[in-house]
């Protein structure tokens, strides 16, 4: 029972870290994407 709880908690923590931290780390590493033309920039 304890092993299942630890495994489930680990999988859930890894998923949340992937969803929450991956986009932030990509922005830090690669920067914000620049629009290629003024029409793509919107308002």
- Binned at pLDDT 50, 70 and 90, residue 32 comes out as confident
pTM (predicted TM-score): 0.57
- Residue among 21, 23, 17 at smallest CA distance from 9: 17
Share of the chain above pLDDT 90, in %: 47
Q: How far is CA 16 from CA 9, 22, 25, in A?
A: 11, 10, 14
Neighbours of 28 (CB within 10 A): 8
With a cut of 80, say whether residue 38 has pLDDT above it. Answer: no
With a cut of 70, say whether residue 16 has pLDDT above it. Answer: yes
């Amino acid at each position: 029972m304890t092993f299942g709880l630890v495994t489930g908690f680990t999988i859930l923590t890894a998923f949340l870290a992937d969803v929450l931290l991956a986009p932030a780390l990509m922005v830090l590493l690669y920067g914000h994407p620049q629009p290629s033309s003024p029409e793509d920039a919107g308002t």
